[in-house]
Structure 1
Amino acid sequence: MEAIVANVLKNQSENLCRERITTSKKKKVSLSSKSDRNDVWAKEEEQKLPSVEDLIKLRPLTDKNVLRCLEARYLTDNICSKAGITIIVVNPFKSIPGMYEPVQIKKYYEGNCKALPPHIFATTDNAYSAMKLGLGQVNQSIIVSGESGAGKTWTTRCLMKYLTSLAEYNPSGFSPSPVHCIEKRILDSNPILEAFGNATTQRNHNSSRFGKYIKLQLDRSGFIIGASIQTYLLEKTRVVHQGPKEKNFHIFYQMLQSASDEERTSWGLPLHDSTQQKIFNFLPRVEVSTVESSLSNTREALKSVGINSKQEDKIFKILSAILHLGNISFTQEEDDDACDMDESASVQESLRMSCSLFGIEEEAFSKYLLMRRIAAHHGNRKSVFMKPCERAEACNRRDCVAKLVYSRLFDWLVSFLNKHTTAKHSYAFIGLLDIYGFESFSFNSLEQLCINYANEKLQQHFVSHFLKAEQDEYRNEELTWDFCQFTDNQPCLDAIEGKISVFSLLNEACKLNRSSDPSALRERILSSISNPFVSKKLKGSKQSSGFVVRHFADEVEYTVDGLTEKNKDYIPPELTEILASSKNLFVRTLIQEDIIAQKKSRSSNAKVPVKTVISKFKNSLDELMVTLRNTTPHYIRCIKPNQQCTPGVFNATFVASQLSACGVIATLAISRSGYPYNYNPMQIAACKGFRIESFKVDMDSSYQNCKLPPKESCQALLEKMCGLDDKENELPGQRSPYKIGRSKVFLQDEQLAKLEREREQVLINKAVCIQRNWRRLMRLKIDRERHMAAVTIQAGGDDKVYFALPS
């Protein structure tokens, strides 16, 4: 793959060097320059790099200079840089004093963000201001993207902190204020979701194993009145299986590390002073990190959002029951024989404890783990019989219960948060998207395929919204423009989700209940998909069966072992029924929807369509993309400086591959010569037009009488403010401060900021005028009432004394 940054300005006095980012099949990135390959930067130029806050201002604008600038800023703790419409944040892997403190929040909220250094707070403030001004689409979205370990979760947390800090509104004088209570509940949802949805992976100690889109709901005054959370694809298989050097979800380690002896006894966990610590098979690694030891923070957050101590106790009992499930094992004398429950004391104790915590009968649960129910139809008759299971199948049924209960517990928590924080009605919302980063491990399965598919969709949204749409709009508006090349990932998406694609073949295998033979599935995928983005396994791969997808970020090899089973996500109905018979009301509540779905399928004579993991995830992701397209997007690109997560280390090759993959270089080239803001002339005339009289342009009466069209009135305003749009007299390397196309007005940052300042000043002047006249009216009213009262008093005391009322 070769990404080229072309010269986007003709006759430019300072021509851009034609640089290349070349990636081989193994994705090794090399930088080369045809014009000045052997140049050595002077020391004074090197010293200026940390002060270049906007990468567009680099001269010359080359890949090499962008990397040098990012590295110089990173090593001086300037981790935020502006790149056109995008903010680039390089993960420092350390705490930078004052970076996200309340003082910094106040600085960006009260100051002029355009005059301050680049920061994620500036992006958030831009979204908030755009929502309040009402220019374009009212609803806003902030899309936080990047590789796993690039700092997306932390960035999203800071964005929420900034937005909630803007809502200091308490007209009734309550203590604490209603907004403060909503703010605290919204912020406290973070540690809950991180405890139950984050885990340690090979690349990140606090990796989000689910995606989330948080809508912060606002009223017309811009105050937060609620929030809702939409989650995507929790990696529930992590509950029962973790890869090498990986861990289970944080909450299990928090519970084991910090629970008191009394709670341990109640939950069936080993005591602190126990001579033989119980080892849980679902927790192969027991060492605890800082995030995994903060049970007090999680419990405080649970209390803050409204979960009482009894509900909290039920949650931890469910978690303990899941851990005990993992210690249930089975024995099998020979292959193809039926298995039996392991009779050892430890296994029997785990079985007894898990059944006790779930509130189900031990004998019935053991029976349904060891035997599978089969229904046979003979015309109108139906026969049901039980078939013994082999050990592998019994283990799968045990794991199925653990995954089912944990995923439903996670869904219940999200539903509880939404119930207690979502407002019924709102004027607008600002959405924060924090979704899993691109993943490529030694073993990649259905989870990685869905995660990387989501990243492909987000990249395609960025390409279609900015890189492609921006240039198409300039062409349609007949603006003078030199077009820039960029990589479109639509062919890759066609290979994954098209008519004949990986997704369609996997869903077909599930619907037709085909054999789960990995070799046959692999051959079907490779022979049916005629797309260069899907190929055979990588050279040197240890996987016996797999296929390769060439994503925008890297080539990833996916194993076909277990893909069909994971996609089916089949839940044996007899196991759901045994949980439905639980004496524990909380357990029954968790699986209530599954029971309802089973009853509907039984009552319906027609065949119920199979809902696979892929189809459900694709539908939810399509809904997300519709939401994003109906909002004004703001982009934050999180960059991982090195693969070891070490502070102070900047791997230029690794960073270059991330910049190239996510289109930052093409974004810079377009943004440097483009216009990031465009509006309909009617919007400028309506929102800005009343400022025309301050420039003493003789057109107020004609505009009021609609004799002057909005386009001409808008042009008169911009000419007075910014100067003439003189295309013939433009100097080389310069661009007009604005452009007026066939139906839209295109503005630079400076011009939009100037218009907003002028508009704000007019609003202030009008507000002062209204207040002045209102006070005058109130004063006259009071004086009139006083005069009338005085005349009435005097007339009653002396009939010969009269005073006239003031005219």
Structure 2
Amino acid sequence: DDLVALGYLHEPAVLHSLRRRFLEAKAIYTYCGIILVAINPYEPLPIYEEEVIYAYSGRNMGDMDPHIFALAEEAYKQMVSSRPLIISGESGAGKTASAKYAMRYFTAVGGCLGDSSMEEKVLASSPVMEAFGNAKTTRNDNSSRFGRYIEIGFSQARVTGATIKTYLLEKSRVTFQAKAERNYHIFYQLCASATLPELRGLALSWLSAGHSHPSGLCDAGGQTSAGRGAWAVPHACAVPAGVPEADQLELFSVLAAILHLGNIVVRGRDRRSVPLQPADEALGLFCTLLGIEALQVTRWLCHRKLVTAGETYLKPLSRQQALDSRDALAKYMYGQVFRWMVSRVNRSLRSLEGHRTSIGILDIYGFEMFELNSFEQFCINYANEKLQQLFNLHVFKREQEEYVTEEIPWVFIDFCDNQPCIELIEGRLGILDLLNEECKMPQGSDGSWAQKLYQTHLGSSHFQKPKRPTDAFVVCHFASKVEYQCDGFVEKNRDAVPEELVGLLRASKSALLAELFLEEGDGPVSLQSRRSSGPRMAGRPSRRSLPSSQKSKKSISSQFKASLNRLMEMLGSTTPHYIRCIKPNDGKQPFVFDSRRAVEQLRACGVLETIRISASGYPSRWTYQEFLERYRALLSREELMGTDEKQICSLALERLLQDPSKYQCGKSKVFFRAGQVAYLEELWYRRLRAACTVLQRHLRGWLARRRFGRARAAAV
């Protein structure tokens, strides 16, 4: 049940044990010290029913088979000392499902205090978040494209409410999806409901007829087949989130407007765009749904306002800049909708009485490495570096606490510290520092930033420059080397949106739009052009030509770093439980185990590092009673005459192992170096075999003598 208790602690033994448990015993859960390894079976299993929940309720870890309910029960019993669950793994490994099972356990065992519907609200929040934050990828049909921390509040051991904090929504998916991937579920669910009478005014059938822009805002080929499950009708998403019925149609209008925005066509050559035609059907639908003027939208999609020392004038944008302006607005609008939905969900889960204790569930993205890696993968892997450092500290802290409690002398070895990699990313003149500086430059570009990276960090052991002549860089993470393409880093980090267009949305008569775009403290900013053009832009523009809001707005990486540091500070003050979800194969086939893929993930999520740390100390620990019950056959008659369990074990081990460095006797346990339990098992097996041989010898002799006696009696 626990990999740390294996006789031999090395990679092949761990992999063999997991493989046998998964394929032969159909056991998807295995302990590894403070980690619960969960392998995705890719088929429903009857191990999450209500009777299973109550079977684990009140039991100690180790009393029953490894299970996420066992870990949830430990967190529930120790909620006063704050024991959050940290769930991580690759996309498709089962993180979201594990988080839902944990939430279900807490609401079932804890029940609800006062508001009997709170349990249903907490459980119903997951499908809402999935509709707006999950999408189909090549690895997972229901991939979470954001991180979340769910804090479930308790009072008198009863559920009183919950709070959800989100991290780094992948907004770029709104305007672009890779081959065989899709946009967020809510768009397809909305299009699947296009024929409903109340939604006909959104003109979604116009999209279904094939009018879909190549940017991929709405995949016309998959609209009707997506989201036909429990959430095919988008009303089901809005009700649990506490969205009033009067606001639901406005919410759907904003989502439909984002789809129509992607179909607005910008014509012209690369250096100069052609003003949009007011007769453009997508433009008309976008403006009608949001209640704004088409002429103003046309103007600010194709121009940018520049303010210099003495005058203000309009600069025409190139076709590519106009397309970037359109896509930036779409991403900004969806980001605001997502934030608004999260705030609505939190409002519906808020408890009037408050809570005394809480249990947190962190459902965070795992380490990512694709063929093409961009800004999103960099931020995700940065978060995993921070979590891995926290994990290493907790493993050593747990080891040290037990050795101190048992009064065992042990010198800690050096472990694989990833602080140099973290310094490379977030330190002074690190990757993020240089990126933010580049974003402040009016003519900042990905290529210029890449050259600054090469000049500053080529001497670092964790930074490399690819051999290919492209703007890219390699970071040596704790899990693996990852090559990142610089293209898009500066634009995504700026997260700039057309200030004038956002001003139009704020001036809309829609109360929901006003709430959406006035909620965030930092104002939106003007989109920065990638190229300089126009007769009055011959020289390099000064910083004064940038809107003041852009100078003060924090970049995406700065916001993410600040929220990540707050999360690490909170987790660092607790002792978390870790759930590492493993994807057994890339084909999503039930109970098929790909050893190569499994070992890659075991390395990336720290399981093998835990094994290495344990192997460096005393990984096998037995209480004196357990040792005597197991190895009584190895004890001599004189040793069995003793009355003190510790003294008996000490004398026996001194005779059996002979080398005092191979074991240590603590106050209540005996600690063994790696491989010593396997040696004792071999001695135990030999002793039993020898005893069996003696028994067989005497039995066979007795049988032979009896046969001989009978034969002699018959002859005489």
Deviation at 1:240, TM superposition (A): 0.8
Q: How does 1:259-278 map to 2 (within 5 A)?
A: 259-270=194-205, 276-278=209-211
Hey, what's the Cα distance between the residues in 1 that align with 2:226 and 2:666? 51
Taking structure 1 as the reference length, the TM-score comes to 0.71
Hey, what's the Cα distance between the residues in 2 that align with 1:250 and 1:544? 35
Cα offsets for 1:59-99 (capped at 9, x unmatched): 23332121111111111321000111111001111111x12
2:474 is aligned with 1:548? yes
Deviation at 1:635, TM superposition (A): 0.6
Residue aligning to 1:57: 5
* 2:72 and 2:106 in contact (8 A); partners too: yes
Determine which of 397, 401, 418 is the counterpart of 1:489.
418
Consecutive unaligned residues in structure 2, runs of 5 or more: 526-543, 622-642, 670-716
Give the AA of the match of 1:163: F
Residue aligning to 1:85: 34
Hey, what's the Cα distance between the residues in 2 that align with 1:413 and 1:502? 33
Hey, what's the Cα distance between the residues in 2 that align with 1:168 and 1:676? 38
Residue aligning to 2:371: 442
Residue aligning to 1:95: 44
2:90 is aligned with 1:147? yes
2:565 is aligned with 1:622? yes
The 1:594–1:60 alpha-carbon spacing in structure 2 relative to 1, beyond 3 Å, is closer
Give the AA of the match of 1:350: A
Q: How does 1:227-306 map to 2 (within 5 A)?
A: 227-270=162-205, 276-281=209-214, 282-284=217-219, 286-287=221-222, 291=227, 293-296=229-232, 299-306=235-242
Give the AA of the match of 2:212: I
Hey, what's the Cα distance between the residues in 1 that align with 2:493 and 2:592? 40
Residue aligning to 1:313: 249
Deviation at 1:478, TM superposition (A): 6.8
Deviation at 1:607, TM superposition (A): 9.3
* 1:725 and 1:739 in contact (8 A); partners too: no
Determine which of 566, 580, 598 is the counterpart of 1:655.
598
Residue aligning to 2:362: 433
1:377 is paired with a residue of what secondary structure?
coil
Q: What is the root-mean-square deviation of aligned Cα atoms in Å?
A: 3.1
The 1:409–1:503 alpha-carbon spacing in structure 2 relative to 1, beyond 3 Å, is same
Hey, what's the Cα distance between the residues in 2 that align with 1:597 and 1:160? 36
Residue aligning to 2:578: 635
Deviation at 1:304, TM superposition (A): 3.1
Residue aligning to 1:197: 133
Hey, what's the Cα distance between the residues in 1 that align with 2:244 and 2:607? 47
The 1:586–1:482 alpha-carbon spacing in structure 2 relative to 1, beyond 3 Å, is same
Moved more, 111-120 or 154-163: 111-120
Residue aligning to 2:393: 464
Deviation at 1:349, TM superposition (A): 1.2
Q: How does 1:374-773 map to 2 (within 5 A)?
A: 374-378=306-310, 383-423=311-351, 425-467=354-396, 470-471=399-400, 474=403, 479-481=408-410, 483=412, 486-516=415-445, 518-529=446-457, 530-537=459-466, 544-593=470-519, 597=523, 608-668=551-611, 670-671=613-614, 729=651, 731=653, 732=657, 736=665, 738=667
The 1:608–1:544 alpha-carbon spacing in structure 2 relative to 1, beyond 3 Å, is closer
1:59 is paired with a residue of what secondary structure?
coil
Residue aligning to 1:691: none
2:157 is paired with a residue of what secondary structure?
coil
Hey, what's the Cα distance between the residues in 1 that align with 2:558 and 2:595? 39
The 1:238–1:385 alpha-carbon spacing in structure 2 relative to 1, beyond 3 Å, is same
Task: Give me the identity figure in percent.
Answer: 38
Residue aligning to 1:222: 157
Give the AA of the match of 1:69: S
The 1:100–1:592 alpha-carbon spacing in structure 2 relative to 1, beyond 3 Å, is same
* 2:128 and 2:237 in contact (8 A); partners too: yes
The 1:297–1:362 alpha-carbon spacing in structure 2 relative to 1, beyond 3 Å, is closer
* 1:147 and 1:639 in contact (8 A); partners too: yes
Cα offsets for 1:699-744 (capped at 9, x unmatched): xxxxxxxxxxxxxxxxxxxxxx99659996573576546479xxxx
Deviation at 1:675, TM superposition (A): 8.9
Residue aligning to 2:20: 72
Cα offsets for 1:614-669 (capped at 9, x unmatched): 00000000000011012221111111112222222211122112222333234235
Deviation at 1:546, TM superposition (A): 0.7
* 1:253 and 1:293 in contact (8 A); partners too: no
Deviation at 1:592, TM superposition (A): 0.7
Runs of 4+ in 1 over 4 A off after TM superposition: 110-113, 288-293, 471-478, 482-485, 604-608, 669-677, 721-730, 732-740
Hey, what's the Cα distance between the residues in 2 that align with 1:179 and 1:727? 56
The 1:297–1:188 alpha-carbon spacing in structure 2 relative to 1, beyond 3 Å, is farther
Consecutive unaligned residues in structure 1, runs of 5 or more: 1-52, 171-177, 678-720, 741-807
The 1:376–1:617 alpha-carbon spacing in structure 2 relative to 1, beyond 3 Å, is same
Deviation at 1:676, TM superposition (A): 12
1:114 is paired with a residue of what secondary structure?
coil
Hey, what's the Cα distance between the residues in 2 that align with 1:531 and 1:245? 37
1:340 is paired with a residue of what secondary structure?
coil
* 2:146 and 2:169 in contact (8 A); partners too: yes
Hey, what's the Cα distance between the residues in 1 that align with 2:597 and 2:548? 56
Deviation at 1:485, TM superposition (A): 5.7
1:447 is paired with a residue of what secondary structure?
helix
Hey, what's the Cα distance between the residues in 2 that align with 1:245 and 1:109? 43
2:300 is aligned with 1:357? no
Taking structure 2 as the reference length, the TM-score comes to 0.80
* 2:275 and 2:302 in contact (8 A); partners too: yes
The 1:606–1:203 alpha-carbon spacing in structure 2 relative to 1, beyond 3 Å, is closer
The 1:569–1:156 alpha-carbon spacing in structure 2 relative to 1, beyond 3 Å, is same
Deviation at 1:442, TM superposition (A): 2.1
* 1:467 and 1:486 in contact (8 A); partners too: no
1:88 is paired with a residue of what secondary structure?
strand
Q: How does 1:151-170 map to 2 (within 5 A)?
A: 151-168=94-111
Moved more, 58-67 or 721-730: 721-730
Q: How does 1:361-372 map to 2 (within 5 A)?
A: 361-372=293-304
Moved more, 664-673 or 309-318: 664-673
Deviation at 1:277, TM superposition (A): 4.3
Residue aligning to 2:672: none
Residue aligning to 1:341: 276
The 1:310–1:82 alpha-carbon spacing in structure 2 relative to 1, beyond 3 Å, is same
* 2:95 and 2:581 in contact (8 A); partners too: yes
* 1:252 and 1:319 in contact (8 A); partners too: yes
Hey, what's the Cα distance between the residues in 2 that align with 1:316 and 1:205? 23
Deviation at 1:218, TM superposition (A): 1.0
1:237 is paired with a residue of what secondary structure?
helix
The 1:738–1:143 alpha-carbon spacing in structure 2 relative to 1, beyond 3 Å, is farther
Hey, what's the Cα distance between the residues in 1 that align with 2:403 and 2:309? 64
1:156 is paired with a residue of what secondary structure?
helix
The 1:268–1:110 alpha-carbon spacing in structure 2 relative to 1, beyond 3 Å, is same
